[in-house]
Amino acid sequence: MESVKSWLSYRVIEAIFYVFDAAVKRLSPKLFRRLSAPLFQLVIYAAIPRRRIFRNLTAAFGEAYSPATRKGLAKGVQEHFARNLTDCFLQLRDPDHARATITVEGLEKLDAALARGKGVIALGAHIGNFVLVGTRLGAEGYPFSILFRLPSDDRIKAAIARRLPACRQRVIPSQPRRLAVRRVVEALKRNEIVFILGDNLKRGKVDTVLFGQRVPSPRGPVSLALRSGAALVPMYMIRNYQGDLHLVIDPEVLLIRNGNIYEDISANTQRIVGYLEKLIGRYPDQWNWLTVRMKRRRRSSESATIATARLGVSRRADAWDGETQA
Alpha helices in the chain (DSSP H): 2-26, 29-47, 50-61, 67-93, 97-101, 107-114, 133-139, 154-167, 177-189, 220-228, 261-282, 301-312
pLDDT tens-digit profile of 110-129?
999 999 999 999 999 999 99
pLDDT at site 314? 39
Q: Report DSSP letters for 158-217, one per residue.
A: HHHHHHHHHHT-EEEE--SHHHHHHHHHHHHHTT-EEEEE----S--SEEEEETTEEEEE
In this structure, of 142-156, 178-192, 276-290, the range with the lowest mean pLDDT score is: 276-290
What integer pLDDT is reported at residue 291 of this predicted model?
63
Residue 62: which pLDDT band, with cuts at 50, 70 and 90?
A: confident
Domain boundaries, the chain: 2-324
Q: Choose the most confident range, by mean pLDDT, from 44-48, 100-104, 279-283, 292-296.
A: 100-104
pLDDT, mean of residues 6-32: 95
- The pTM assigned to this predicted structure is 0.86
The percent of residues in the chain predicted with pLDDT above 90, rounded, is 70
Q: What is d(CA 281, CA 170) in angstroms, rounded to the nearest whole number? A: 30
| All residues at 6 or more sequence positions from 192 whose CB lies less than 8 Å from its CB, including other chains | 119, 120, 143, 144, 145
CB 171 within 8 A of CB 164: yes
